């Protein structure tokens, strides 16, 4: 009988140790490997969840993505990213967690099932054994399912079987990617509250890479890459420009309280103005807003104004204004944010007919103290791009300093 009692106690304690949310466990599981199920791929990402304090973050290599809102939901949890309007739901399922991820897109939602198990130090595969090293710069061609192609630059850093990196395009970057290399197989993924990306590829004997890219529930592209340490993208300052006959930007859009704001308003007179075309749904735009918020704090007293034009997934002012407020709060942006339209690029271009096109969100327009457009930068190479981000900041600072040092041209 004594042996039976001891055995029963051992089973009870073992059951407590397996409690996924740690309600009965002195040392609860806080780190999880979440597996998000895309239609043709599985997206793994590390989640750190502290149920006791309602805190959580995801990691993608060196990136740590804080979850702004964590709420208990019965035995489970709801993780929300208000600035992106996306939600991840988790609930206990034996020794694991299960749930789903919902991403809000323009005109529809994407919902993906997911599961989670205790994190054991890897993303795709434990103890990878790489047969190739893909460290370096690559010239990349992406091909959509309809045959449309686009060029990119891939940059990877491989340490043993672990790999981090990103892809840069003329429209922006794919932010922080992380994964493993096993044999000749390359596997990368990211989830940052908005992006749900998976990249896979196989290295061929000639040293090239060929594979697939999946995003959310609807997007797929194939991609090929050739190692090229001189790979470059077009100059981001030459892709967007004013049409012939224009030398300035003109618009009137409502601010987050519904009041009309125009560049001809007194607050902008004699100021250097940076105008950003952005959206709360766009992580590259969020990276840029965090950067611009710091720039504004540093240079506002030198005569700098910043205006963000929001192009949202929905044509509803109150919803768009709510997203704008969440974005401003998240990044400490103390400058004008205006609701300009929907996130369709052709529709966005109609709101600013003096531009040749709206090629990317974000797009940043430099306006001098006389109101003339001096530079337009398409896309944004964020902190996930390493040296490219540092190069962008250096050139940006040079251009901005020059504009701030100029005087207003005297009138006739």
Residues 256 and 373 in one domain: yes
Q: Answer whether residue 25 is part of any domain.
A: no
> Virtual CA dihedral for 294, 300, 305, 310, nearest 10 degrees?
30
Residue 151 belongs to domain with CATH number: 2.40.128.120
At residue 3, does pLDDT exceed 70?
Answer: no
Task: Summarize pLDDT for 287-332 with one digit per residue, the tens.
Answer: 999 999 999 999 999 999 999 999 999 889 999 999 999 999 989 9
Q: Answer whether residue 214 is part of any domain.
A: yes
Residue 10: predicted pLDDT: 41
- Count structural domains, the chain: 3
Residue 410: predicted pLDDT: 72
Residue 411: predicted pLDDT: 62
Q: Answer whether residue 158 is part of any domain.
A: yes
Q: How many CB atoms lie within 10 A of CB 207?
A: 11
Q: Answer whether residue 398 is part of any domain.
A: yes
Residues 207 and 256 in one domain: no
Residue 305: predicted pLDDT: 98
H or E, element range at 296? helix 283-299
Return the minimum-mean-pLDDT range out of 11-20, 173-182, 251-260. 11-20
Can you give the residue range of the structural domain that contains 68?
Answer: 30-118
pLDDT category at 52 given cuts 50, 70, 90 is confident
pLDDT category at 28 given cuts 50, 70, 90 is confident
Contact 89, 73 (CB under 8 A): yes
Residues 95 and 145 in one domain: no
- Could you tell me which of 183, 188, 181 has the C-alpha nearest to residue 162? 181
At residue 85, does pLDDT exceed 70?
Answer: yes
At residue 17, does pLDDT exceed 60?
Answer: no
Residue 281 belongs to domain with CATH number: 3.40.30.10
Q: State what percent of residues in the chain have pLDDT above 90.
A: 84
Residue 133: predicted pLDDT: 98
What is the rounded average pLDDT of the residues 329-349? 95
Residue 21: predicted pLDDT: 53
What is the rounded average pLDDT of the residues 228-253? 95
Q: Is the dihedral of CA 222, 226, 227, 233 positive or negative?
A: negative
Residues 169 and 287 in one domain: no
What is the rounded average pLDDT of the residues 352-371? 97
Contact 75, 89 (CB under 8 A): no
What is the rounded average pLDDT of the residues 372-380? 97
At residue 101, does pLDDT exceed 90?
Answer: yes
């Amino acid at each position: 009988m004594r042996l039976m009692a001891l055995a029963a106690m051992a089973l009870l304690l073992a059951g407590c140790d397996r409690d996924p949310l740690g309600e009965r466990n002195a040392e609860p599981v806080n780190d999880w490997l979440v597996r998000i199920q895309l239609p043709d791929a599985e997206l793994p990402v590390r989640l750190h969840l502290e149920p006791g304090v309602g805190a959580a973050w995801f990691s993608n290599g060196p990136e740590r993505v804080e979850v702004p809102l964590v709420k208990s939901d019965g035995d489970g949890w709801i993780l929300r990213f208000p600035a992106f309007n996306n939600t991840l739901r988790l609930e206990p399922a034996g020794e694991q967690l299960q749930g789903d991820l919902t991403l809000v897109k323009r005109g529809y939602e994407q919902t993906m099932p997911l599961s989670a198990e205790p994190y054991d130090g890897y993303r795709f595969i434990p103890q990878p054994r790489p047969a190739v090293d893909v460290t370096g710069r690559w010239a990349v061609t992406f091909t959509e399912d309809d045959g449309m192609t686009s060029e990119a630059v891939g940059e990877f850093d491989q340490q043993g079987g672990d790999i981090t990196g990103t892809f840069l395009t003329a429209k922006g970057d794919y932010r922080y990617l992380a994964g493993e290399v096993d044999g000749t197989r390359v596997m990368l993924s990211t989830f940052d509250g908005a992006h749900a990306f998976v990249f896979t590829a196989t290295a061929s004997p000639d040293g090239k890479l060929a594979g697939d890219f999946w995003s959310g529930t609807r997007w797929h592209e194939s991609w090929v890459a050739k190692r090229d340490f001189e790979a470059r993208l077009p100059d981001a300052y030459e892709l967007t420009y004013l049409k012939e006959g224009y030398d300035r930007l003109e618009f009137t859009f409502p601010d987050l309280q519904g009041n009309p704001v125009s560049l001809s308003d007194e607050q902008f007179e004699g100021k250097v103005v940076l105008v950003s075309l952005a959206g709360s749904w766009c992580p590259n735009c969020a990276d840029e807003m965090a950067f611009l918020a710091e720039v504004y704090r540093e240079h506002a007293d030198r005569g700098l104004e910043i205006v963000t034009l929001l192009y949202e997934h929905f044509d509803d002012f109150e919803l768009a204004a709510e997203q704008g407020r969440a974005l401003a709060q998240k990044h400490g942006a103390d400058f004008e944010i205006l609701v300009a339209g929907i996130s369709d690029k052709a529709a966005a271009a109609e709101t600013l007919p003096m531009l040749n096109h709206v090629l990317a969100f974000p797009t940043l327009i430099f306006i001098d103290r006389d109101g003339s457009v001096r530079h337009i930068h398409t896309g944004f190479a964020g902190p996930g791009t390493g040296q490219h981000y540092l190069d962008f900041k250096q050139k940006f600072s040079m251009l901005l300093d020059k504009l701030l040092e100029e005087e207003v041209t005297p009138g006739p």
